[in-house]
Structure 1
Amino acid sequence: MKSDIHATVSARIIAELEAGAAPWIKPWSATPGANTPCNAVTNRPYSGCNVVLLWMAQAAGYRTPRYLTFKQALDLGGHVRKGERGTKVYFVKQLQIREDGEDDATTRFVPMMREYTVFNVAQCDDLPDAVTAGKSLRVRNPDSRNDPADEFLRSTGADIREGHGEAFYVPSRDFISMPAFSAFKSMDHFYGTVLHELTHWTAHKSRLDRDLKSRFGSRNYAAEELIAELGAAFLCAEFGFDSDLRHAGYIAIWIDLLKADKRAFFTACSQASKAADYLRGLALAAPADVAA
């Protein structure tokens, strides 16, 4: 009998949450400055649920989040060590189905989930140095603002109003309220919070048009908060910030959501990736400052 991929992955995430830990928070201390999992051969970053699944694998203490398949290791002249267990990742492939009708033939595309097993470079021997090496670590002052992150925030065009008592996004007025930078216990907490609210900002009907009208405590509310948490985690990883939970109380409603809908985690990861990609697109499209 074919395994239910959605149920299997959801069960793993639920187990982590029931243990009191959000699995997208753990890996930071293991891989400071190089938190985004990528394929060690192509250097292409993983996305969606695969980011979280590989972060969970990263909790084993691997030095760098670089992964490759068994075949890729062999093609490079290396090999996966005997006895090592890989991590399953998932990709959606569009199958083209041809249907012959009475008058003509039509073609439709059906999404199919494909499963692959990847291994961390630390589980392999004899790989080229260029494949095993990760990014150099960033040296940061945790008490000062981060110029690249601030430029990223400005480039989105979002109305971010700092200096207020609470952090929240107001859809009806389309602005983000943030406490002053000095009110946060560290730079990481400030940027993690603003990136959480910025992910909510992408849900506006003029942008990605996600549902923000649901009442507090509903599963739709839980789903949107999960999207915002994951979106912030994905972006924090790129900037080298230590991700953290906005509110530990979210864990209970996420468990309820994932138990009620085995596809909810996949959907939230997909929406969070879309939000992060949307924000990256705004940053890339922003005009560069011209020196006088």
Structure 2
Amino acid sequence: MKRDFYAEVSARIVAELEAGAAPWIKPWSATPGNVPCNAVTNRPYSGCNVVLLWMAQAAGYRTPRYLTFKQALELGGHVRKGERGTKVYFIKQLEVKEDADNNSPARLVPMMREYTVFNVGQCEGLQESVTAGKPARVRNPDARDDLADQFLRSTRADIREGHGEAFYVPSRDFISMPAFEAFKGADQFYNVAFHELTHWTAHSSRLDRDLKNRFGSRNYAAEELVAELGAAFLCAEFGFDGDLRHAGYISHWIELLRADKRAFFTACSQASKAADYLRGLAIADAEAAA
């Protein structure tokens, strides 16, 4: 019987949510590097794989660096006997011809592929250059963060601080944020700022996600999930502890994931695109200033 990867992953996330935990919140606390990456290529994982590897990280591994069984052997090391790996997923585009005629047009069909990876902490015989993560960034948890502030400015988003509640207004394309002093500290402030900034990427002039029906429960829950994940991805990158912006949406997310087994993959993919879009703005700004 053919396995349904979408349903399997969705069921895992629903189980976590039903237990009252959002699996993208704080599994990386005190972990140097924060963003899961391949230990050989140093390429960060993206989409749903980030969350799945954060769930694995909760086992207490020192660094979020992963590799396949074969990669460990190629590096002169090996996975310890009895260790269980973590499944990660990639979409591979397969070229399919409509008929046997070589001149017939081919179409690309997305196929889900599953791979098993192991944390470097589950391996032996690997060099330190492979196992060592990036050192944790030193910062003051009670003060504004220059690097994160620079990132916010580089987006050129209209962020109005000190104006009551935190929200994004699509029709007027601006973000409202309470003053920094209204938050418990930097972690909470930047988590909320990144959440609203992810909503900001949905504007028709940017990534053009549908915000028209934002307050229909399922559509709204889906966009809130994108913003939650986008904020989590960015918080991890800057070394902030994530937080749950809208805990009340957990029941809506369970309903959403039960109704659509691909909803979590879609939300993760859109959140990754949003984070990439914002990074692109920051890079462009830095290049223009150079």
Alignment TM class, shorter chain as reference: over 0.9
Q: What's 1:57 paired with?
A: 56
Equivalent pair of 2:28/2:57 in contact (CA under 8 Å): no
Partner of 1:29: 29
Q: Which residue in the other structure is 2:16 paired with?
A: 16
1:248-282 C-alpha deviation (Å, 9 max, x unpaired): 10111101100111000000000000000110111
Root-mean-square deviation (Å)? 1.5
Aligned residue in 2 for 1:269: 268
2:121 corresponds to 1:108: no
> Secondary structure, in 3 states, of the residue corresponding to 2:28?
helix
How far the C-alpha of 1:99 sits from its partner, in A, is: 3.2
| 1:7 pairs with 2:7 | yes
Give the Cα separation in 2 of the matches to 1:68 and 1:135.
16
Q: String of CA shifts for 1:225-253, please: whole Å, max 9, x gaps.
A: 00000000001110000000012101111
List structure 1 segments (4+ residues) > 2 angstroms apart after TM superposition: 98-104, 287-291
What is the DSSP-based 3-state SS (H/G/I as helix, E as strand, rest coil) of the residue aligned with 1:249? helix
1:98 shift after superposition: 2.6
94-103 or 12-21, which moves further after superposition? 94-103
Q: Distance in 2 between matches of 1:98 and 1:257?
A: 35
Q: Residues 75, 177 of structure 1: CA spacing in aligned structure 2 closer, same or farther, 3 A cutoff?
A: same
The residue that corresponds to 1:184 in the other structure is 183
- Between the two proteins, the alignment pairs up a number of residues equal to 290
Q: Mean alpha-carbon deviation: is it higher for 78-87 or for 213-222?
A: 213-222
Secondary structure (helix, strand or coil) at the match of 1:27 reads: coil
**Which amino acid in the other structure matches residue 76 of structure 1?**
L
What's 2:47 paired with? Answer: 48
Instruction: Tell me, in whole angstroms, the C-alpha distance in 2 between the residues paired with 1:156 and 1:279.
Output: 6
| 1:215 Cα offset (Å) | 4.8
Moved more, 57-66 or 217-226: 217-226
Q: Residues 210 and 289 from structure 1, CA distance in 2 versus in 1: closer, same or farther, beyond 3 angstroms?
A: closer
Query: Which deviates further from its counterpart, 6-15 or 97-106?
Result: 97-106
Following superposition, the deviation at residue 213 of structure 1 comes to 1.6
Q: Distance in 1 between matches of 2:215 and 2:86?
A: 36
Q: Is 1:89 the equivalent of 2:93? A: no
What is the match of residue 155 of structure 2?
A: 156
The 2-side partners of 1:256 and 1:111 are apart by 26
Name the amino acid aligned to 2:210. Answer: D
Contact 2:155 2:282 survives alignment (8 Å): yes
Deviation of 1:101 (Å): 7.8
Shift of 1:39: 0.2
- Give the unaligned 5+ runs of structure 1: none
Q: CA deviation at 1:288?
A: 5.1
Whole-angstrom CA distance in 2 between matches of 1:58 and 1:203 = 30
Q: TM-score normalized by structure 1?
A: 0.96
For residues 101 and 62 of structure 2, the distance between their equivalents in structure 1, rounded to whole angstroms, comes to: 60
Partner amino acid, structure 1, of 2:248: G
Specify the alignment match of 1:231 in structure 2.
Answer: 230
Q: Which amino acid aligns with 2:4?
A: D
Separation of aligned partners in 1, 2:113 and 2:86: 14
CA contact (8 A) 1:30 1:59 kept: no
Deviations 1:111-141 (A, max 9, x none): 1110000000000000111000011121110
Paired with 1:181 and 1:270, the residues of 2 have a C-alpha distance of: 30
Conservation of the 8 A alpha-carbon contact between 1:27 and 1:35: no
Rate the CA distance shift 1:127–1:170 in 2: closer, same or farther, 3 A: same
User: Quick check: 2:26–2:243 contact (8 Å CA) kept in 1?
Assistant: no
2:150 partner amino acid: E
Of 13-22 and 33-42, more deviation after overlay is shown by 33-42
Identity of aligned residues (%): 81
Structure 1: how far apart are the matches of 2:257 and 2:235?
24
Query: How far apart, CA to CA, are the structure 2 residues paired with 1:236 and 1:15?
Result: 24
Match of 1:206 in 2: 205
Q: Give the whole-Å Cα distance in 1 for the aligned partners of 2:264 and 2:162.
A: 34
